Structure 1
């Protein structure tokens, strides 16, 4: 079998990394090998870089590790038992890889499987910050021609956002407030707008709202300036420990609060308020159930997340990006993409 080398970004310890030559993957039975075209850098990757990611302390992850779970590419080979028709297809892949045998997996909930691997995050499944990637073919989703590599690498965060937007159960005539105008928050806002809802956003400063306004969201506020309006649903897409409680305070009685953001410390909500306001609270983990519908939304143009990508860099620039540096010439968007083939 081929063991030719390829380039990969390897995180060796908190704050320490290298672009290394490693053996290229060979497709095991049931797997496909993909030429990676684009990878998104995510806040989860930053937590691994700083060493703050909870999985490191829970024994689910360890260094050295290869990051990268928002990706797109083209299948170049397949393993035993896989239909050769997959070769040449443009694809993206589900991050969550369940065991396939437990009760949760059998019920279609592989994204909360106790034994799951998470590509580039949990377990020993290497991520996509490399020239090639090996994944179970069962995790792949085909991209139509109208969904290019950039959009393909935005399907995974888009799936999280789509599920959060749908969990609000909002449509025309309803009003939503999205807390945190980062990548997920802005994607949630785009999906809510596509559903016909009136969308408001709240950021931490006067800087992040400026970009949201460029995307056509006129109602952008800070915590001090949020208007006294009836919000039928509130989506917390932030990492601020106090905002889950604020969401519950601000939502209309009979409304919904959707939690897709994760703070670095435990958040607290008053369940008395939840009950007395008759509010429905929904937690969202993973894009898995929303990937196909996200691809369709990108393909038909009802949601166009391309402006979120500020820059595309090579593997050598990943470390500085994880450390918080903005690439030279980057636009105002929150997302940095990587082309592992460049450089």
Structure 2
């Protein structure tokens, strides 16, 4: 439980019970990401967190109880679930864009109890079921994979295109895996951490470079730029850099979470180059379905991205690792069932 920024404690209480239309999930693993670090540090934007809160929005587990009116066939199923608690009645929700719900932001792990716990209760309608053989440790990364899937769907990649991915963190690595399935002519990974950029080659990138080795006025070595640039880092200058890497008439999708003060996009360059720019925040149901299908088909393999696994009482250490900047730190998982002794 994070009571307020910088203060957390391990709490115990009665086992939660699912209400009508709900399920209870026994959490197998939950990922710790930069958004959780922001929640802990108190830097998450106002309105996008409600203290006190149990964090945890990236997770996988097994349904172990169902509430009244919920299909009992869900019992024992491996699953992940959407985090946004959309109203389903506003115009945006009716269009299927639940991440744009006009009723206000409400998400598991930020405004609702999350998965850094033994159990999680949530509406059954949010579930996405996994195969019985699914690796739940790897499936805990399907939430960031769904965000990446939303970006890829927005980007509309085509076979034979030249594509660049800015950032080789969790989002970037997952983006490389999904984009590689479209058979691009070139798939470049860019990251200031040379070690992480090189690791992207194992995920399907054809080339890897640091920003210093990438020409800022176009593509690498001064070529004509990329058909598609997918930004995943959320660093102060990466939105600007993504636009500069795109060819004239190219497409840019911004996926990273930027903080106030990030470098702006040059409107003159945007206009003259006739770029198409999209942004992604969270993931609608279609993106979740896409990510889960890709995982089941073997097109997504998040398991190699996990570098650390800790028990729940290791939350403090997990937050430290996520914010350390150490290139050897990939995805950090909390495992409720681990013996902390």
Question: With structure 2 as the length reference, what TM-score do the two structures score?
Answer: 0.90
Query: Residue 32 of structure 1 contacts residue 137 of structure 1 at CA under 8 Å; is this kept in 2?
Result: yes
Corresponding position of 1:83: 71
Q: Where does residue 236 of structure 1 map in the other structure?
A: 231
Q: Which of the residues 34, 40, 47 maps onto 2:38? A: 47
Select which of 91, 97, 118 maps to 2:107: 118
Q: Distance in 1 between matches of 2:323 and 2:108?
A: 25
- Looking at secondary structure, tell me which structure has more strand per residue: 1
Q: 1:185 aligns with which of 160, 172, 181?
A: 172
Q: How many residues align?
A: 327
The alignment status of 1:322 with 2:310, answered yes or no, reads no
Residues 322, 332 of structure 2: 8 Å contact kept: no
Secondary structure of residue in 2 paired with 1:133: strand
Report what 1:336 is aligned to: 332
Structure 1 unaligned spans of 5+: 1-9
Aligned twin of 1:294:
291
- 1:31 is the counterpart of 2:26: no
- In 2, the alpha carbon distance for the partners of 1:322 and 1:77 equals 30
Shift of 1:340: 0.9
Q: Does 1:67 align with 2:55?
A: yes
Following superposition of structure 1 onto structure 2, how do residues 1-343 of structure 1 map, counting pairs within 5 Å? 10-54=1-45, 58-114=46-102, 115-121=104-110, 123=111, 125-197=112-184, 198-226=186-214, 227=220, 228-229=222-223, 230-267=225-262, 268-288=264-284, 289-324=286-321, 332=328, 334-343=330-339
Any idea what SS the aligned residue of 1:273 has? helix
Structure-1 separation of matches of 2:183 and 2:206 = 15
CA distance in structure 1 between the aligned counterparts of 2:250 and 2:109, rounded to whole angstroms: 36
- Name the CA distance, whole Å, in 1 between partners of 2:290 and 2:13: 35
Residue 272 and residue 331 in structure 1: after superposition, are their counterparts in 2 closer, same or farther (change >3 A)? closer
User: What is the CA-CA distance between 1:92 and the residue it aligns to?
Assistant: 0.6
Give the Å deviation of 1:94.
0.2
User: Structure 1 length normalisation: TM-score?
Assistant: 0.89
For structure 2, the 5+ residue unaligned runs are 215-219
Secondary structure, in 3 states, of the residue corresponding to 1:238? coil
2:39–2:49 CA contact under 8 A, matched in 1:
no
CA deviation digits over 1:74-108, x for unaligned, max 9?
Answer: 11111122121211211111011102222222222
8 Å CA contact 1:31–1:82 kept in 2: the answer is yes
Change (3 A) 1:223 1:335: same
2:217 is aligned to: none
**Distance (Å, rounded) in 2 between the aligned partners of 1:319 and 1:147:** 29
Query: What SS does the aligned partner of 2:213 have?
Result: coil
